[in-house]
Structure 1
Amino acid sequence: MANRLSDATSPYLLQHADNPVHWQEWGEEAFAEARRRDVPVLLSVGYAACHWCHVMAHESFEDDAVAAAMNDGFVSVKVDREERPDVDSVYMTATTAMTGQGGWPMTCFLTPDGEPFFCGTYYPRPQFLQLLAAVGEAWTQRREEVLRSSANITNALAGMSAAGPAAPIDDGAVSDAVNTLAGDFDPANGGFGTAPKFPPSMVLEFLLRHHARTGEPDALRMAEHTCEAMARGGMYDQLAGGFARYSVDAEWVVPHFEKMLYDNAQLLRAYLHLHRATGSSLAARVARETADFLLTDMLTEEGAFASALDADADGVEGLTYAWTPDQLAEVLGPDDGARAAEALSVTEAGTFEHGTSTLQLRSDPDPQWWAEVRSRLLAARAGRPQPARDDKVVTAWNGLAVAALTEAGTILGEPSYLDAARACAEFLVGIHLVDGRLRRASRHGSVGSAAAVAADHGDLAEGLLALHQATGDPRWLDRAGGLLETALARFGDGAGGFFDVADDAERLITRPKDATDNVEPSGQSSLAGALLTYGALTGSTRHRDAADAAIAAAGGIVGQAPRFAGWTLAVAEAALTGPLQVAVVGTDDDAAALARTVRSSPSPGLVMTAGEPDAPGAPLLADRPLVDGRSAAYVCRGFVCDRPVISTADLEQRLARGTA
């Protein structure tokens, strides 16, 4: 046998293509070999930007002695969790159930039928060698015990996929969620809980929407404080824009340096909405810089967006990003270097490792001076070793980017952002839709074989619906409708919620289903949001009913752990407020001014279509004529419309009824 990863499309798998381990990709061939050899499957799951995945690779998978033990006693399978989130979900559930925690790299030992009997995460080389010997001994000497254990674990996993009790998420439920979040809030540093701190992107969106609907000051206070603290700290790239994965400390000083597309797309949207709600210049700056980061560092040749930038460069975490006072002086000269060190919290002792510091910007320096300094430091940083880029294009995360860049283009008045969103959407619907069914990922313009999961359908539909509202192009509404029809037909759980995979997807030991919003919207909540928006844009009560049922299906999570139901709560706020539908008829400057007024509203239940009266494929524009030949706006609630208005002042008054 030999390593079989050289033909993989995943950058993560290709990182392991030269290992002495006889890796195989996930598939029936690997399990058939395990049955033939009568050995367990060793499943290793990670992703390309994962720091500890690199560490375990260098310590163990590149080591001949470790590889020999793996090759002799196991069939070893590598999985990119971003390419196969269904496989990752099933075995991560098993890992957390067995150990009380999860993470990557994930290490699982399976029977040849795929049933797990021992799971963990990262193991240093000595412990990993001991584990391989112990698992091999258990498999050969205590087989019946191992099989009983794996059967029990598999049965337990099946029970975890059962639909939980539905509970409508009404005004009382969202108010209770705000109060619970207030109890977890860190008043000194922003964010929720203690270290490590992850950016609470979806919770921020919920709090902003709740404030827009109710005027609740605590919701806005928590969102503002958290957004400012993250943007001022080391987790935000003060030179190039964009956010790192999380902060290892409670003060947002030292990040885990990998940059993920899904984080930056969601945070871009949150900062845009904070700017819209408050006029914050900081929020506007961070939104613009984050959008620029996506277009500069994450854009692929095909016009879509790469998955991640690595945490490491030349095997050293943070090497690209950390500075000393002497390094600043070397680039800027002694005076500006000292001034920059003070402005950026770069100390002699260091805030990171080996006397280096992450860059923070706790207050705004002189804009002209800072613009020049930032440019010079960024140019100098470009000469350092750079982190590798995982240029795999993931459907769901690109859908999030389409939605965020579309709104950045309209809210910030920057056409290049909207153009980038449109180009990405064109690529996704042209390449990732194959024979009417969506695929999970592509690389270098070649789509992979893995089927799309629920979140791919929901997030891409969300992005396409945002594009339709920004451009009036009916193609995007039609494409979104097709994705949602597939989701309704193939992913439903029969109780209002959604499984993560379709009913005709590859059969795993259990059909994964997770309604929690963790680092990105769950498949269920992403579909709920897209269904709600589509129903409002088209008047489809079927889609609205499906959205309401999906929201209610997560009611138990909202009541127990609102920090892990952020997008569900954000969608619930839109449902409680809307639908607030606005049709802007006309294509002249007056129509553009009316459309800008609509987009300035923070109402979470608002949808809009703009274009010619009775434009085909745009239900909101049907039977809504110009007013005495002039462009006009029709404000409707549930397709019951007020009299049309032609002035932006009158439109503002009408829209104010949809907010606090």
Structure 2
Amino acid sequence: MCRHVPHFEKMLYDNPQLVASYLAAFQLTGDKQYALVARGVLDYLLRDMISYEGGLYSAEDADSEDPHSYTTAAGSSSSSSSSSSSRNSGSSSASSRGGGAHHHGERKEGAFYVWDHSEVVSVLGPELGPFFCLVYGIDEEGNCNRSFRSDPHSEFEGKNVPYVATQPEVAAARLGLPYAGDAAEAARRLAAARERLHLARAARPRPSLDDKIVTAWNGMAIGAFALASRALVSEPQVERLFPSEGRPPGAYLDVAQRVASFVRHHLWDPAAGGGAGRLRRSFCRGPSAVQGFADDYSALISGLLDLYECGGGREWLEWAMQLQAVQDQLFWDSQSGGYFSTADPASSDADPSIRIRIKDDYDGAEPTASSIAATNLLRLADMVPERPSPSSYGGEAAAAPEGPLMPYDEAAQRTLAAFAARLTQSPLAAPHMCSAAHMLSKRPVRQVIVAGPAAASDTAALLDAVHAPYCPDKVVLVLDPTDPRDMEFWRARNPPAHDMVTTHFAKAQEPREAIPATAFICQNYTCQAPTIDPVRVRQLLTQQATPGSAQPLLQHFDVKL
């Protein structure tokens, strides 16, 4: 049996990445359990990790006071988040929250989360107690000794860490419960048991909260909430099964917009950098003095592109383009390609305490700035191939020698080439970079255009269909033919998309407001017949993409390797 005892710290950067993985699994399989896990993670963030103004906190500590070891000591030592690096320390704090009366006891790893068998049965009673214990492997002697890897230091003797040991309907049958054979009812009873234990656990001292709001990690969360708002529309028979609250998927799009608005309002200074704008690294009762790092820009741009593609509005795409120009100015390596983590030491944006510029090449718990940026650049290249000059954003963004003026696709290829040795020798160390290389090999990717009034239900239905299947080799353009400003933007940035939509709507006899929203799916400069049918959209995007003209481009990349 593999280890099932985790490190109990909850980091914001882990959870959005997990949501993206579970959403992809749901899109590929249609298995409701994957959707339920994704919902549970997102609802946890909304329940315990979001600030009043909309930013998401960084972490909950692994340690907390053990309710079984209270003392009368005047205080207890506070453990710090071992995962937080020094560059996250701009203006952070760790605060204790809730959990009944304050006690002074020994702080232990996982004390807030582990259970005695007797506790579970006492809270849940004679029917739900044994049912929960059988499903989640809760034993009288504890379950942390089932593998030598689970508890190598014997920290959890006699304690239980719940994990799915038996499927609910199987457990109900073994116990002869009245809902044996009814998987849906067994799932409801199990959810009720989880909620009762959650309420009982609330009386324990909570782990400390790191209430710093980090730009990069909030960028990851923006993308996760946005993608969930569309992918989960396909979920059948949605109901509240704690910790999933059963929210309408559209509620997650509202959250993504709220988080993005927080970052723009509190962590973006549009006047800095001579008017080009600058990000701050973090916020804790005010923006930190630490300037944003390259990963703050990359992760936020990625989240904003997801938010735009899911129907959040063109404003997020335009901000992503502006952020990309600033990232290129501050961090681009004009000699070798790719992005340094910090600004040029000789520039006014440099932190004088940082003497060495690092260009990370390891996608660990957090992917590197260059890995995310490579995919961002490829997406932008197919969404807005007419890249605006940096001067259009104001300020002095044109000051950098190459980066800001380089076409998106060229910058992406140079970024991948910069990490060629890593990709060929240790690809497993750079999975996000491998994904970017795969996307490059698929170019030109499928371009999906959804044209319709922004607030119309048929536009939303087409967007739901676009994001229902797992289809990473695509970009999505959302055009509103009833909005002159929107159409003017696309006329300047993607003339073929603008012209195709304009021509199609010009042929109709009705006013543009009355024409149904329409989807156009194109690849290799060839488009399928326009359709207003969401089912047809799903069918087209579920089909395997044709190789098209990607091979010459891939060969060009291979030469650079």
Q: What TM-score do you get using the length of structure 2 for normalisation?
A: 0.70
Contact 1:577–1:658 under 8 Å retained in 2: no
Distance in structure 2 (CA, Å) of the matches to 1:322 and 1:539: 53
Contact 1:323–1:356 under 8 Å retained in 2: yes
Alignment of 1:496 onto 2:337: yes
2:215 alignment counterpart: 395
* Letter in structure 1 aligned against 2:413: D
2:315 alignment counterpart: 475
Gaps of 5+ in 1: 1-188, 190-250
Alignment of 1:241-256 (within 5 A): 251-256=2-7
Distance in structure 2 (CA, Å) of the matches to 1:472 and 1:370: 35
Alignment of 1:386 onto 2:227: no
Alignment of 1:543 onto 2:408: yes
- In the superposition, relative to structure 1, how do residues 643 and 368 fare at CA in structure 2: closer, same or farther (>3 Å)? closer
Alignment of 1:647 onto 2:533: yes
- In the superposition, relative to structure 1, how do residues 570 and 540 fare at CA in structure 2: closer, same or farther (>3 Å)? farther
What secondary structure, in the 3-state scheme, does the structure 2 residue paired with 1:583 have?
strand
After the TM superposition, which segments of 4 or more aligned residues of structure 1 sit over 4 Å from their partners?
A: 618-621
Give how far 1:511 is off.
1.1
Give how far 1:518 is off.
0.7
Contact 1:472–1:610 under 8 Å retained in 2: no
Alignment of 1:327 onto 2:119: yes
- In the superposition, relative to structure 1, how do residues 318 and 649 fare at CA in structure 2: closer, same or farther (>3 Å)? closer
Contact 1:266–1:400 under 8 Å retained in 2: yes
Deviation per CA, 1:562-617, whole angstroms, max 9, x where unpaired?
22211111222222224211111113443333222211232212111224226243
2:54 to 282, 303, 313: 303
Greater percentage in helix: 1
Gaps of 5+ in 2: 66-106, 145-155, 169-185, 234-248, 388-406, 509-514, 547-561
* Letter in structure 1 aligned against 2:364: N
2:268 alignment counterpart: 433
Deviation per CA, 1:394-447, whole angstroms, max 9, x where unpaired?
110100000001101111131221111101101111111122111111113x10
- In the superposition, relative to structure 1, how do residues 517 and 648 fare at CA in structure 2: closer, same or farther (>3 Å)? same
Alignment of 1:246-645 (within 5 A): 251-314=2-65, 315-352=107-144, 353-365=156-168, 366-413=186-233, 414-434=249-269, 435=272, 436-444=277-285, 446-471=286-311, 473-493=313-333, 494-503=335-344, 504=347, 505-507=350-352, 508-540=354-386, 542-578=407-443, 579-587=445-453, 588-613=456-481, 615-616=486-487, 617-618=489-490, 619=493, 622-623=498-499, 624-625=501-502, 626=505, 628=508, 629-637=515-523, 641-645=527-531
Distance in structure 1 (CA, Å) of the matches to 2:311 and 2:384: 16
Deviation per CA, 1:538-557, whole angstroms, max 9, x where unpaired?
12471122112212322222
Give how far 1:639 is off.
5.7
Contact 1:539–1:638 under 8 Å retained in 2: no
Distance in structure 2 (CA, Å) of the matches to 1:472 and 1:344: 39
Contact 1:343–1:361 under 8 Å retained in 2: yes
Contact 2:363–2:430 under 8 Å retained in 1: yes
Contact 2:128–2:189 under 8 Å retained in 1: no
* Letter in structure 1 aligned against 2:467: R
Contact 1:305–1:393 under 8 Å retained in 2: yes
Give how far 1:273 is off.
0.9
Contact 2:468–2:538 under 8 Å retained in 1: no
What secondary structure, in the 3-state scheme, does the structure 2 residue paired with 1:610 have?
strand
Contact 2:19–2:38 under 8 Å retained in 1: yes
Deviation per CA, 1:182-202, whole angstroms, max 9, x where unpaired?
xxxxxxx7xxxxxxxxxxxxx
Give how far 1:656 is off.
4.1
Deviation per CA, 1:430-466, whole angstroms, max 9, x where unpaired?
111122111111113x100111111100000011111
1:124 alignment counterpart: none
Distance in structure 1 (CA, Å) of the matches to 2:432 and 2:307: 20
- In the superposition, relative to structure 1, how do residues 650 and 409 fare at CA in structure 2: closer, same or farther (>3 Å)? closer
Give how far 1:642 is off.
3.9
Give how far 1:559 is off.
2.2
1:239 alignment counterpart: none
What secondary structure, in the 3-state scheme, does the structure 2 residue paired with 1:499 have?
coil
Contact 1:459–1:530 under 8 Å retained in 2: no
The alignment's C-alpha RMSD in Å is: 2.0
- In the superposition, relative to structure 1, how do residues 432 and 372 fare at CA in structure 2: closer, same or farther (>3 Å)? same
Contact 1:603–1:659 under 8 Å retained in 2: no
1:24 alignment counterpart: none
What secondary structure, in the 3-state scheme, does the structure 2 residue paired with 1:256 have?
coil
Distance in structure 2 (CA, Å) of the matches to 1:654 and 1:415: 24
Distance in structure 2 (CA, Å) of the matches to 1:331 and 1:557: 52
Contact 2:138–2:161 under 8 Å retained in 1: yes
Deviation per CA, 1:222-258, whole angstroms, max 9, x where unpaired?
xxxxxxxxxxxxxxxxxxxxxxxxxxxxx24101100
- In the superposition, relative to structure 1, how do residues 635 and 304 fare at CA in structure 2: closer, same or farther (>3 Å)? same
Matched residues, number = 410
- In the superposition, relative to structure 1, how do residues 402 and 252 fare at CA in structure 2: closer, same or farther (>3 Å)? farther
Distance in structure 1 (CA, Å) of the matches to 2:219 and 2:525: 28
Give how far 1:658 is off.
5.0
- In the superposition, relative to structure 1, how do residues 481 and 253 fare at CA in structure 2: closer, same or farther (>3 Å)? same
What secondary structure, in the 3-state scheme, does the structure 1 residue paired with 2:322 have?
helix
What secondary structure, in the 3-state scheme, does the structure 1 residue paired with 2:13 have?
helix
Distance in structure 2 (CA, Å) of the matches to 1:423 and 1:438: 17
Contact 1:411–1:599 under 8 Å retained in 2: yes
Deviation per CA, 1:132-190, whole angstroms, max 9, x where unpaired?
xxxxxxxxxxxxxxxxxxxxxxxxxxxxxxxxxxxxxxxxxxxxxxxxxxxxxxxxx7x
Distance in structure 2 (CA, Å) of the matches to 1:548 and 1:638: 19
Distance in structure 2 (CA, Å) of the matches to 1:333 and 1:647: 51
- In the superposition, relative to structure 1, how do residues 419 and 451 fare at CA in structure 2: closer, same or farther (>3 Å)? same
- In the superposition, relative to structure 1, how do residues 653 and 333 fare at CA in structure 2: closer, same or farther (>3 Å)? closer
- In the superposition, relative to structure 1, how do residues 640 and 437 fare at CA in structure 2: closer, same or farther (>3 Å)? farther
What secondary structure, in the 3-state scheme, does the structure 2 residue paired with 1:557 have?
helix
Distance in structure 2 (CA, Å) of the matches to 1:472 and 1:429: 15
Q: What TM-score do you get using the length of structure 1 for normalisation?
A: 0.60
Distance in structure 1 (CA, Å) of the matches to 2:20 and 2:376: 16
Distance in structure 2 (CA, Å) of the matches to 1:373 and 1:652: 37
Distance in structure 2 (CA, Å) of the matches to 1:394 and 1:253: 29
- In the superposition, relative to structure 1, how do residues 574 and 527 fare at CA in structure 2: closer, same or farther (>3 Å)? same
